């Protein structure tokens, strides 16, 4: 049992002002795995005051000083990386190879990238008579989700530290353990008191307190569209900057060529990774109508090959994060059946042999783009295959969405893939795979605003100042 009942404020682990706790449920067993404290606006006030006080000195540190701090964190993160992975496996059900692999690697990757960017980043630039300065924006409220705990947390913390900002982290209530360990890592690494603070609790309380706080200069939020909308409204009265990375319903377009079945199988397996709990997942698979039977066969075989079970075992997919999330996904599967979508793999209920735990069958439908299962973010291992007549039709379907976070194009003709990628209205497109920590990530339309990752993520935490007359005319 884990018991994390203290917050991290002003360089110390402290008790909440008003004692109040909540149980954390292991989604694989549906048993209590630990306890956390739930904070209040009073705890937020203390954390913000500490961050405001620390900003006066930390914002004046040199890039070299901040670089040395990040490098110290780098060593401590590496020392405790396996421990972070075990916590992620327990808190949100990721299989051990994934939790101790890609999950924690994303965290270290964002740390390494912040270091790389900071080494060469120009905080001052002379343009004629004017000096352009890039200065830390101030005190930042960082609100993170449960689906990729280290990715979503580290992609905010480390660029903010590199920029010279101070911050208050509000981790996800469903997956709080890894954030607590990360706070210990930052503490042991010698982050100055007040620069990093953490308050656990409910988003409706802690998130609102941060979003409305007069002494918070910026909110960076990753999560659902409705919450992002509310944060913007809450932040409006104090005119603070708001960065939002919200939902997605990304299209994966597979070209009509000899590799179609291979690409369909890869897209299907990819959708089931992390139990489908990825905002940029290719949840709409767009394929040529003329080859639909071949597509259905390849997708069904790939989905049925995904093993599901205990995250501590040798399985490709674990549970979804909670019983409530399981129920939401089951509702969408039932809705797909009601709408007349063709079920080609998976379906309602748990996989065979699993009588407890929040396990969902890897599910594949064939449907149309006007169905609810094609319009709304399910956030589970549910793929919808949609047919297209030609590539212009595929692009039209891909862009017919309220979201615009990610997109995928697979095919042998690279020029055709590139042309399609230019036409899709989303913040990121993956052409035949690929990965880049320096590539900007963020959304069009209702998928949010602002960009994270690499140099673009550092810019999120900077203000731009013009000093006119720096040089004589």
> Active-site positions?
245
Q: Render 241-308 in DSSP notation, one character per residue.
A: EEEEE-----EEEE-SSTTHHHHHHHHHHHHHGGGG--TT---EEEEEGGGHHHHHHHHHHHHHT--B
Cα–Cα nearest to 341, from 312, 310, 370, 380: 370
Q: What's the distance, CA 326 to chain centroid?
A: 19
Which pair of structure tokens corresponds to residue 142?
């960082």
Alpha helices in 164-224 (DSSP H): 177-188, 208-212
Contact 370, 317 (CB under 8 A): no
Which residues have C-beta within 8 Å of that of residue 259, sequence separation ≥ 6?
Answer: 410, 411, 412
- Please, how many CA atoms are within 13 Å of residue 443, restricted to the half-sphere of its CB? 27
- Please, how many CA atoms are within 13 Å of residue 213, restricted to the half-sphere of its CB? 30
Contact 391, 398 (CB under 8 A): no
Enumerate helices (H) and strands (E) in the chain, giving the number of each.
16, 23
Q: State the residue for tokens 């397996």.
A: 269
Which residues have C-beta within 8 Å of that of residue 444, sequence separation ≥ 6?
Answer: 404, 405, 425, 426, 427
Indicate the pairing of strand 363-366 with strand 342-345. antiparallel
């Amino acid at each position: 049992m884990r018991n994390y009942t203290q917050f991290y404020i002003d360089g110390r682990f402290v008790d909440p002002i008003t004692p109040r706790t909540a149980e954390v449920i292991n989604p694989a067993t549906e048993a209590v795995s630990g306890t956390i404290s739930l904070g209040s606006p009073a705890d937020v006030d203390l954390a913000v005051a500490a961050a405001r006080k620390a900003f006066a000195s930390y914002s004046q540190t040199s890039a070299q000083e901040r670089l040395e701090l990040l490098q110290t964190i780098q060593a401590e993160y590496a020392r405790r990386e396996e421990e972070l992975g075990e916590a992620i496996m327990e808190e949100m059900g990721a299989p051990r190879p994934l939790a101790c692999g890609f999950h924690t690697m994303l965290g270290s990757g964002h740390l390494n990238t912040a270091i790389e960017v900071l080494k060469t980043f120009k905080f001052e630039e002379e343009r004629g008579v004017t000096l352009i300065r890039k200065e830390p924006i101030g005190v930042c409220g960082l609100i993170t989700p449960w689906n990729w705990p280290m990715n979503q947390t580290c992609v905010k913390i480390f660029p903010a530290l590199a920029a010279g900002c101070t911050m208050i982290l509000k981790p996800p209530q469903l997956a709080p353990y890894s954030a607590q360990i990360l706070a210990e890592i930052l503490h042991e690494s010698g982050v100055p008191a007040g620069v990093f603070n953490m308050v656990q609790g409910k988003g409706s309380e802690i998130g609102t307190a941060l979003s409305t706080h007069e002494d918070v200069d910026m909110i960076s939020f990753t999560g659902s569209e409705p919450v992002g909308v509310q944060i913007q409204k809450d932040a409006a009265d104090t005119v603070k900057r708001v960065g939002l990375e919200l939902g997605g319903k990304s299209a994966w377009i597979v070209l009509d060529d000899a590799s179609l079945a291979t690409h369909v199988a890869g897209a299907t397996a990819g959708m089931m990774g992390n139990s489908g709990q990825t905002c940029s997942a290719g949840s709409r698979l767009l394929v040529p109508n003329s080859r639909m039977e071949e597509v259905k066969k390849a997708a069904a075989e790939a989905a049925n090959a995904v093993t599901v079970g205990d995250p501590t075992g040798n399985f490709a997919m674990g549970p979804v994060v909670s019983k409530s999330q399981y129920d939401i996904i089951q509702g969408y599967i039932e809705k797909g059946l009601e709408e007349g979508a063709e079920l080609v793999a998976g379906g309602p209920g748990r996989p065979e042999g699993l009588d407890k735990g929040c396990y969902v069958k890897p599910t594949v439908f064939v449907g149309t783009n006007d169905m609810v299962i094609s319009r709304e973010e399910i956030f589970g291992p549910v793929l919808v295959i949609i047919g297209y007549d030609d590539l212009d039709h595929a692009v039209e379907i891909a862009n017919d969405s309220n979201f615009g976070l990610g997109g995928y194009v697979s095919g042998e003709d690279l020029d055709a893939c590139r042309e399609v990628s230019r036409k899709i209205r989303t913040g990121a497109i993956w052409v035949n795979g690929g990965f880049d920590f320096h590539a900007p990530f963020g959304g069009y339309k209702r998928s949010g605003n602002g960009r994270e990752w690499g140099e673009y993520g550092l810019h999120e935490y900077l203000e731009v100042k013009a000093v006119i007359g720096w040089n004589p005319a």
